[in-house]
Structure 1
Amino acid sequence: MKFSVLGPAGTFADAAARKYLTLHPIDNIDIDYRNTFDQVYEAVTPDGIGLLPIENQLDGFVLATLQRLQVADITEIGEVTVPVNFGLAGKVSRLDDIKRIFVQFKTEGQCQNLLAQLLNAEIITTSSNMISVEKLRDGQAGDAAIMPQSQLDVADFPFKLPNVADQTDNNTRFIIFKKQPAALKVPAQPVEDETVSFKSALFITPPTEEVGVLYQILSYFAKTHLNLVTIMSMPTRQKIGIYSFYIEISGTLKQRAILFETLSRMADSYTIHPLGIYAL
């Protein structure tokens, strides 16, 4: 069984995968490293699982992941959150000497205070923090990279600057998923403790844009006392002005039947794209 994650070893995705396996041990599973998040998704086999970042504490939701989930037939089976901190290393003697800096696309949004100081540096975006490290190793004088703090501790470069994130108490949340469609019905397996909390994610798309459409959608959940923890609007790409709403709902497993009854009623008026339900 393969667990597809963004690689190489040492990324925050790798740390998240290992934390998930510590909390939820799976026999005979190998971590399958991929170079991009698209490759991670494509690599997930029918009997395997994958991991994608969904939200960062400083930089918000990961748009690329939401766009993938909007059209993907997947079932989320869990989530895991890991602390995120960064350091800077470079082939320079001081910060002002940096001419090029390699930064992963989400890392850039979490290190704005540092990057604002590098007025003369060219920012080169990468798909992985570890790729940033590799590009620095293969680079030239004047190059630098922002990398996981753990990599800074073992990096061999003349200039190092620790703790360069805009906040030190930064975290990223990842989802773990299977590549199979989620069902709009209560899972068949029994639950030993119905007081355990759950989270469920889905997209809801109204057929047209009209005054009060979001209020109408939210009222379904308010009337049944289901707790909405996230709501994001996403363009459907089919017509300007028509949006799909990414929603995350939490509750206790005792409320699962209420959730799916509510979604079944909503399916008469809206397009429901479920992404799964899992215990927290």
Structure 2
Amino acid sequence: MKFSVLGPAGTFADAAAQKYLSLHPIDNIELDYHDTFDQVYQAVTPDGLGLLPLENQLDGFVLATLQRLQVADITEIGEVTVPVNFGLAGKVNHLIDIKRIYVQFKTEGQCQKLLTQLPNAQIITTSSNMISVEKLRDGQQGDAAIMPQSQLEETDFPFKLANVADQTDNNTRFIVFKKQPAMLENPTQPAEDETASFKSALFITPPTEEVGVLYQILSYFAKTHLNLVTIMSMPTRQKIGIYSFYIEISGTLKQKQILFETLQRMADVYTIHPLGIYAL
């Protein structure tokens, strides 16, 4: 059984996968590393798992993941949050000597205070923090890279600077998923602790854009006392002005049947793309 994640080994995704497996042990599972979000998704087998970053504390939701979830037939089975911090290493003697810096696309938004100190440095965006490290190793004098703090301690570049994120208490949330469509019916399961908490994620797309459409959508959840913890608008790409709403809902397992009944009613009016429900 394969567990597909962004790689190579040493990334925050790798740390998240390791943490998930420590909390939810699975026999005979192998970590399967890939360079891009699409490669991770495509690599997930019917009996395997995938993991993608969803939200960073400093830089918000990961657009590339939301775009994939918007059209993907997957079922989320859990989430895991890991602390993230960054260091800077370079083939320079001083910070002002940096001429080119490699930065993973989501890392850039978490290290703005540092990057504003380098107005003359060329920022080269990468798809992975570990690819930034590789680019630096293969680079030339004047190059630098932002990398996971843990990797900084293992490098031997002449210049190092620790803790370069905009704040030290920074975390990233990852989702774990199976490659099978989530359902709008409440699956039959063994007896559950009804006081335990769940989270559910989905996309809701109205047929047209009209005054009050978001209010109408939210009223379904308000009337049933379901707690919305996240709402994000995403273009459908079919027509300007028509948006899907990415929504996360939390509650107790006692409310799970209420959630499914609510979504089934909403499906008569809106396009519902469920992404799964899982215990917290």
TM above 0.5: yes
Structure 2 unaligned residues grouped into runs of 5+: none
Partner of 2:129: 129
Partner of 2:34: 34
- Whole-Å Cα distance in 1 between the matches of residues 176 and 255 of structure 2? 22
1:115, CA displacement in angstroms?
0.4
Deviates more, 1:184-193 or 1:263-272: 184-193
Partner of 2:138: 138
Partner of 1:214: 214
- Whole-Å Cα distance in 2 between the matches of residues 214 and 41 of structure 1? 30
Over aligned residues, Cα RMSD in angstroms?
Answer: 0.5
Task: Work out whether residues 195 and 252 of structure 2, in 8 Å CA contact, stay in contact via their aligned partners in 1.
Answer: yes
Please list every run of at least 4 consecutive aligned residues from structure 1 whose deviation after the TM superposition is greater than 4 angstroms: none
What TM-score does the superposition give when structure 1 sets the normalisation length?
Answer: 0.99
- Whole-Å Cα distance in 2 between the matches of residues 17 and 69 of structure 1? 19
Query: Which amino acid in the other structure matches residue 66 of structure 1?
Result: L
1:190, CA displacement in angstroms?
2.1
Partner of 1:182: 182
Partner of 2:105: 105
Q: Does 1:164 align with 2:168?
A: no
Task: Work out whether residues 192 and 253 of structure 2, in 8 Å CA contact, stay in contact via their aligned partners in 1.
Answer: no
Matches within 5 A, 1:65-76: 65-76=65-76
- Whole-Å Cα distance in 2 between the matches of residues 190 and 28 of structure 1? 25
- Whole-Å Cα distance in 2 between the matches of residues 187 and 105 of structure 1? 38
- Whole-Å Cα distance in 1 between the matches of residues 262 and 107 of structure 2? 38
1:187, CA displacement in angstroms?
1.8
Listed one character per residue, the Cα deviations across residues 212-254 of structure 1 (whole Å, up to 9, x for unaligned) are 0000000000000000000000000000000000000000111
Task: Work out whether residues 89 and 161 of structure 2, in 8 Å CA contact, stay in contact via their aligned partners in 1.
Answer: yes
Listed one character per residue, the Cα deviations across residues 182-206 of structure 1 (whole Å, up to 9, x for unaligned) are 0001121123311110000000000
- Whole-Å Cα distance in 1 between the matches of residues 245 and 237 of structure 2? 13
Q: Secondary structure, in 3 states, of the residue corresponding to 2:247?
A: strand
1:15, CA displacement in angstroms?
0.1
Query: Which amino acid in the other structure matches residue 249 of structure 1?
Result: I
Q: Secondary structure, in 3 states, of the residue corresponding to 1:133?
A: helix
- Whole-Å Cα distance in 2 between the matches of residues 254 and 78 of structure 1? 19
Listed one character per residue, the Cα deviations across residues 17-46 of structure 1 (whole Å, up to 9, x for unaligned) are 000000000000000000111100000000
Aligned residues: 280
Task: Work out whether residues 7 and 34 of structure 2, in 8 Å CA contact, stay in contact via their aligned partners in 1.
Answer: yes
Percent identity, aligned pairs only, is 88
- Whole-Å Cα distance in 2 between the matches of residues 217 and 147 of structure 1? 41
- Whole-Å Cα distance in 1 between the matches of residues 116 and 234 of structure 2? 29
Partner of 2:256: 256
Task: Work out whether residues 19 and 80 of structure 2, in 8 Å CA contact, stay in contact via their aligned partners in 1.
Answer: yes
Partner of 2:18: 18
Query: Which amino acid in the other structure matches residue 89 of structure 2?
Result: A
- Whole-Å Cα distance in 2 between the matches of residues 103 and 189 of structure 1? 45
Query: Which amino acid in the other structure matches residue 175 of structure 1?
Result: I
1:110, CA displacement in angstroms?
0.3
What TM-score does the superposition give when structure 2 sets the normalisation length?
Answer: 0.99
Query: Which amino acid in the other structure matches residue 137 of structure 2?
Result: R
Q: Secondary structure, in 3 states, of the residue corresponding to 1:68?
A: helix
- Whole-Å Cα distance in 2 between the matches of residues 117 and 277 of structure 1? 44
Q: Secondary structure, in 3 states, of the residue corresponding to 2:231?
A: strand
Task: Work out whether residues 74 and 180 of structure 2, in 8 Å CA contact, stay in contact via their aligned partners in 1.
Answer: yes
Q: Secondary structure, in 3 states, of the residue corresponding to 1:272?
A: strand
- Whole-Å Cα distance in 2 between the matches of residues 68 and 219 of structure 1? 27
